Amino acid sequence: MSSAMKPLDPVLDLTFEIAGDWPLYGLCEDIRPALATALAHGPAALATIISLGEGGPRPIGTQMVFSEGSRAGFLSGGCIEADVEDHARACLADGQPRRLVYGEGSPWPDIRLLCGARVEILVERIDPGDPAARMLLTLWAERRPAIWISDGGRRVCGPSPEFTAPWPEAFARAFDPAPRLVVLGGDPTALAVASLGTQSGFETTLVRPKGPLNPPPLAGVRYRRDSVPTALDAIGLDAWTAVAICGHDLDIDHAALLAALPSAAPYVGLLGARRRLGERLDRLRAAGVSERDLAKLRAPIGLDLGGKAPFEVAVAVIGEIMATRHGQPALARRAAG
């Protein structure tokens, strides 16, 4: 198995399995891990929303993956998934792509979307040796943006943004690297932020310098106990990584801020009392951190939801990270002082 065809992390296994009474498969938002797992065992069918009319519960580009006995992702609120799966299984069997229309103009008027939307879906079979799929998964493993272009029969994939434009009848979808979260600390609040981050789809690492030898009992959370500069350098703070500093050691927090603020990480949050913020900012300025980099700091960390319990803070932090990620300026607070 190549490194690009790596199986799912344990935390993601529940999102790629035969469904029982609960649609756990729908918790899979990024289909690349599921696609990698499927292709490691055989062909897969990829279903993509390529057109929408009159709104819709899921955006253009939303995808599902189907393989032998398994599925991952979701395309609506449950209105069309079963029918799409039937077509995907047929596609796996005969290799022929399908373009499915639900809503206005659909050949299946008995399948109704409660939102009243018109949804067009491309279903295509992906074989394990498919060059475009291998390139997509290679770029995913390398944390590089990608463009996927396909008409169901012909497909290409390459790095974004320098890759070619789609041809007529083809659909293009951009893929960013998987979102990551680095949490500094080891108290209940840090554990809650790390736990909720993983459940929210972030590749999460908890950093606790000189912490316990055993990792925290949190499913899917990676753990490092080396020094802050060493840990953050090894992780790599790119444009898809958020940093939540939830420690209670001024020097460790300061070291984390010195590494994170000048980095490409778009979100850096700091847990702590507002009354101490001014002196922390002065210390950073004295260490050479620019005003431009200081402006990125969210402190005190998280949206102001009023709660102080660990998971209340975690909800506020993850919410603020998502607001930053999706460009919600009304929710983007910055440090003052």
SS (H, E, C) 171-188: EEEEECCCCEEEEECCCH
Are 271 and 247 in contact by the 8 Å Cβ rule? The answer is yes
d(CA 24, CA 326): 25
Helices (H) then strands (E): counts for the chain:
9, 14
- The per-residue pLDDT for 329 is 58
Tokens of 255: 């070291």
Which position has the token pair 């799409």?
A: 84
pLDDT 10s per residue in the chain (337 long)? 344 444 444 334 444 555 567 888 888 899 999 999 999 999 999 999 999 987 777 899 999 999 998 899 999 877 888 899 999 999 999 999 999 998 877 777 767 676 667 899 999 999 999 999 999 999 999 999 999 999 999 999 999 877 777 899 999 999 999 999 999 999 999 999 999 999 999 999 999 999 999 999 999 999 999 999 999 999 999 999 999 999 989 999 999 999 999 999 999 999 998 898 999 999 999 999 999 999 999 999 999 999 999 999 999 999 999 999 988 755 555 544 4
Centroid of chain to Cα 314: 17
Selection from 121, 123, 166, 126 nearest residue 147 by Cα: 166
- The per-residue pLDDT for 318 is 97
Are 277 and 297 in contact by the 8 Å Cβ rule? The answer is no
End-to-end distance of the chain based on CA atoms, in angstroms? 53
Residue 308's CB is within 10 A of a number of other CB atoms, namely 9
- The per-residue pLDDT for 194 is 98
SS (H, E, C) 181-247: EEEECCCHHHHHHHHHHHHCCCEEEEECCCCCCCCCCCCCCEEECCCHHHHHHHHCCCCCEEEEECC
The three-point CA angle 35-36-37 to 5° equals: 90
Give 135-168 as a DSSP string: HHHHHHHTT--EEEEE-SS-EEEEETTTSPPPPT
Kindly give, in sequence order, each residue whose CB lies less than 8 Å from that of residue 188, ignoring residues fewer than 6 positions away. Answer: 310
d(CA 57, CA 42): 31
- The per-residue pLDDT for 5 is 47
Structurally, at CATH architecture level, domain 180-331 sits in 3-Layer(aba) Sandwich (3.40)
- The per-residue pLDDT for 14 is 42
- The per-residue pLDDT for 115 is 65
d(CA 130, CA 238): 29
Are 134 and 4 in contact by the 8 Å Cβ rule? The answer is yes
Which position has the token pair 């402006």?
A: 295
Tokens of 1: 């198995």
- CATH 3.40.50.720 residue window(s) in the chain: 180-331
| pTM of the predicted protein model | 0.88
d(CA 77, CA 23): 11
- The per-residue pLDDT for 30 is 94
Length of the chain: 337
Which position has the token pair 């929303």?
A: 49
- The per-residue pLDDT for 207 is 98
Q: Is the dihedral of CA 161, 164, 168, 171 positive or negative?
A: negative
- The per-residue pLDDT for 28 is 86
Question: Can you state the angle between helices 32-39 and 131-141, rounded to 10 degrees?
Answer: 130
